[in-house]
Structure 1
Amino acid sequence: MLMHWRTLDAAQALVRLADFAKQDASYVPTTSLQTSRWHVRFGAREFELLCTGPKFYDTRAGMGGGGAVDLLIHCMSLDFKAAVRYLLERNL
């Protein structure tokens, strides 16, 4: 399961896990043409994330990661075990 979550496309994970996720259609990538920008809400916290494959980058916090576990740790302030439990509960 961990390998699956590490390689899961970050944009797909956002759509399935976030309370709100909308792709910014006006975004023009500068480095990788596969990069997309998303406006996302987890609870009361809002993020602007750049996603390329399994990797994400929070433009406001200036940090990123890779995989669904890292995404939940960052966006929901969960620890590793809680993030894994969250993913298992949602059958992701």
Structure 2
Amino acid sequence: MLARRSFSAPTLAQLRQMPASDALALLADHVKLDPTYLPVKDRHSCRWHASTALGDFEILTTGVKWYDTRACAGGGGAIDLAMHVLGLSFVDAVKRLTAR
């Protein structure tokens, strides 16, 4: 029987607290802040245009939270974002984020 391995709690906590904009910069092949975006609900939100192997994304970020305006999907933390923009499993998303 194979031994089960897991990620450390501090590693997962760090990834869950990483700002979505920082995570997007790590994950995307190309990412650009949209200077024309005017926030409606939260004045701290930003709109990013990002490209990955899965395609192009328009992502709104506020702290750790993110929202894909084209897919009408969102979440919180770098792990969820990696799973979304790269189509990865939880384990592969954590590995990808910790490899950089």
Name the TM-score, length of structure 1 as normaliser: 0.93
In the alignment, is residue 36 of structure 1 matched against residue 31 of structure 2?
no
- In the TM superposition, 1:1-92 aligns within 5 A as 1-90=11-100
Aligned residue pairs, count = 90
Q: SS of the residue aligned with 1:33?
A: coil
Tell me, in whole angstroms, the C-alpha distance in 1 between the residues paired with 2:26 and 2:20. Answer: 10
TM (normalized to structure 2)?
A: 0.86
Q: Distance in 2 between matches of 1:22 and 1:86?
A: 21
Aligned partners of 2:54 and 2:85 also within 8 Å: no
The DSSP-based 3-state class of the residue aligned with 1:78 is coil
> Among the aligned pairs, what percent are the same residue?
44
CA deviation after TM superposition for structure 1 residue 44, in Å: 4.5
Cα distance in 2 between the residues matched to 1:60 and 1:43: 16
Query: 5+ residue gaps in structure 1?
Result: none
The runs of 4+ residues in structure 1 deviating greater than 4 Å are none
Question: 1:51 aligns to what SS in structure 2?
Answer: strand
